[in-house]
């Protein structure tokens, strides 16, 4: 996937794409480099949608789901 296609996705689809890549043993850094988007851009974008990265789960999760 390229940057343009990724940016056109709905935010939930972007999160699902990133999580799928993380499940395939890729790092956030490697996925962001492949997309041509900065890690901080992904983090900030997902944070606005109330999703944060969980190290334990190795994926982005809804902040409301964390207790």
Q: How far apart are CA 67 and CA 63, in angstroms?
A: 9
- In this structure, how many other beta carbons lie within 10 angstroms of the beta carbon of residue 60? 22
Q: Each residue's pLDDT tens digit in the chain (67 positions)? A: 999 999 999 999 999 999 999 999 999 999 999 999 999 999 999 999 999 999 999 999 998 866 5
Structure tokens at 15: 């999160």
pLDDT value of position 67: 55
pLDDT value of position 44: 96
Please tell me whether the overall predicted TM-score, pTM, comes out greater than 0.75 for this model: yes
Helix (H), strand (E) at residue 13:
helix 11-23
Rounded to the nearest angstrom, the gap between the alpha carbon of residue 8 and the centroid of all alpha carbons in its chain is 14
pLDDT value of position 64: 84
DSSP 59: E
């Amino acid at each position: 996937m390229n940057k343009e296609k990724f940016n056109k996705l709905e935010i939930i689809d972007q999160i699902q794409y990133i999580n799928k890549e993380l499940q395939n043993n890729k790092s956030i850094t490697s996925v962001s480099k492949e997309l041509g988007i900065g890690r901080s851009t992904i983090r900030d974008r997902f944070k606005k949608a109330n999703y944060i990265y969980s190290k334990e789960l190795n994926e982005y999760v809804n902040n409301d789901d964390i207790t």
